[in-house]
A and B are shown apart, each in its own frame.
Chain A
């Protein structure tokens, strides 16, 4: 049975596209066939994170408008051959897609691929409603910061109103040192406040930035903390029981140094 997963957040810039790219690559690394759909009309980004920006011929609107069959618009990944991208349109005009069109497309894709992952635009407008329409599961990405958590709560409410009740939370950009000092919410706090079960916590990691620079999601090398966190999320999506990772604690001397302002 194939699965349609939407990656959403409410607040912008919390890591939806990064999450989509990493989970997509991670599933493909396990041999699953995956289509990533970028629905952030006018703001094309997912292609860059995957290093596919120079291979795009057609986009999502070309497909939903019936100008080309979807197979023609899919861009195959260079390295992971079971991974495909359906890029978004760079022009935001009246012809942008509606929920019914996306449902039709996803039902087609379900016949051929194991996972269809939809990268959602920020906000709760039409683009959001379209992105969630076809989804079986919603991953809500948030950051340990009050405005991002509040917006996640709003999104969870909207998902409920749209009868989407398979919702999982991803807390991104955790800074363990700050949590330890008592200056940042941790996964359990957010879990408790939102009453939604967590499927992953991802640390704030410079490697995400270097990976993005190179167009190769951080999960590929696997050695970084963020890469491991995404690997765990992929495992959980595949139904495995994986304990949440412990972030390395700040050592005693580092703490002492900080206490004395050194």
Chain B
């Protein structure tokens, strides 16, 4: 009965309290992350080193960034691959 009523009124909506909680959690991750350009550059170089063991990549076209999704923070990397290295 309760569920029928709920679905009638457009399903269970997230309360504004829940929304506030989620937004705060994400914004604080960002505030804390506070990654300086130098740290980001180190991270980039480390990623290149690891990946280069397996494939040849285009360092100039590669992008690495922290991205703010609706309810999470992700490290997003876009790395063009030129050629795979062959392993035996």
Contact = CB atoms under 8 A, between A and B. Distances in A.
Contact of A182 (B16, B25, B28): B16
A150 B31 contact: yes
B24 interface: yes
Interface residues of A, number: 15
B23 A146 contact: yes
Interface in B6-26: 15-18, 20-21, 23-25
A182 B15 contact: yes
Contacts of A181: 15
A146 B32 CA distance: 16
Contact of B17 (A153, A154, A179): A179
| Among all A-B residue pairs, the 7 with the closest Cβ atoms | A182-B15, A182-B17, A183-B16, A146-B20, A193-B24, A146-B24, A189-B21
Interface of B: 15-18, 20-21, 23-25, 27-28, 31-32
8 contacts: A146-B23, A179-B17, A183-B15, A184-B16, A184-B17, A185-B17, A185-B20, A189-B21
Interface of A: 146, 149-150, 153-154, 157, 179, 181-186, 189, 193
